[in-house]
Amino acid sequence: MQNDNLKSYLHLHVIVFIWGFTAILGKLISLEALDLVWYRMLFASVIMTFVVLFNKEKIKVPFNVLIGFIVSGIIIAAHWLTFYQAIKVSNVSITLACLSTGAFFASILEPIFYKRKVIWYELLFGLIVVVGLGIIFNVETKYTTGIYLAVTSAFLSALFSVINGKYAKEYYPNVISLYELSSGVFFLSIYLFFAGSFTPAFFALSVNDLIWLFLLSSICTAYAFSASVKVMKFLSPFTVMLTINLEPIYGIILALLIFKDGEEMSPLFYVGALIILATVIANGIVKSYKKVTTN
């Protein structure tokens, strides 16, 4: 079991690196946030359908579980919508750094959903992350709207992780992903239909957008989404959420390399980012120590 935990933790870091790249793709794709999320979930749903059929995985689940999957699908759709909208109105660095507040939200939500006591160091690490966010907020005031959207996205991400953690131990990751992605695209389709958004222009994708969307939907969504559910079998939602805080670090480095001047921030912004990184490392050390002392 300990070996499985280690493999899952390392696998999670690979997934988080891939997620860091999704922000880059979000800026490269010219579509509006809502259109982008719809295409992402649609393509990923199709891919997951083929994966589930190929693996001959059972898709029948109890009705109450199905409702849970649908709710999770709506939450993840809302998470991605606020995430990409934050990128559109600010930039990659701001959006990814603000996602770190997810650890704080997870430290509050997990005890509620799992009916356990609040662990003091989880709450402490979550609060330290908020300090890092506060520094960013104070020095990057021109991106206020982007910060609010990104923090909302972080809350939705934490809520999704906590809810999914309850299902990950009982059902196939691919099946969970298929239901949730399909649910998200279904409800987004209803909204787009009644909003009159399904016009010829909506479906007129450029070659570049199509390539980036396929990469986003296959590697960054279908694979990473399913794999993230799988690692939840061995890791707690809080550990998953706190490790996801490395996404800003990976993403910001990639953004600086790719977009250069458009992503350069003030020195204090990077102080806040370093606080986040230090918190992730501290969490790993504390959890390792706890495991050693309890074995």
Torsion of CA 52, 57, 63, 69, to 10 degrees: -40
Distance CA 286, CA 277 (A): 14
* Euclidean distance between CA atoms 234 and 48, whole angstroms: 22
Select from 233, 238, 230 the least CA-distant residue to 284.
238
More reliable by pLDDT, 119 or 180? 180
- What is the distance between the alpha carbons of residues 290 and 2, in angstroms, rounded to a whole number? 13
Q: Which residue's structure tokens are 């021109």?
A: 142
The fraction of the chain above a pLDDT of 90, given in percent, is 34
Q: How many domains is the chain built from?
A: 1
Residue 210 has a pLDDT of 94
165-203 in b/e form (b: 16+ CB < 10 A) is: bebbeebbbbbbbbbbbbbbbbbbeeebeeeebeeeeee
Q: Span 1-21, mean pLDDT?
A: 76
Range with the poorest average pLDDT among 52-61, 187-196, 203-212 = 52-61
Confidence at residue 110, expressed as pLDDT on a 0 to 100 scale: 81
**Domain extent at residue 34:** 1-294
- Percentages helix, strand, coil for the chain (3-state, rounded to 5) are 85, 0, 15
Spacing of C-alpha 67 from chain mean position: 21
When pLDDT is averaged across residues 224-238 and rounded to a whole number, the result is 74
User: For residues 195 and 84, is the Cβ–Cβ distance under 8 A?
Assistant: no
Flag the least confident range among 49-58, 218-227, 254-263. 254-263
User: Which residue type does 93 have?
Assistant: S
CA 1 from chain centre, in angstroms, equals: 26
Tell me the pTM.
0.84
C-alpha 253/C-alpha 247 separation (Å) is 10
Residue pair 165/28 in contact by the 8 Å Cβ criterion: no
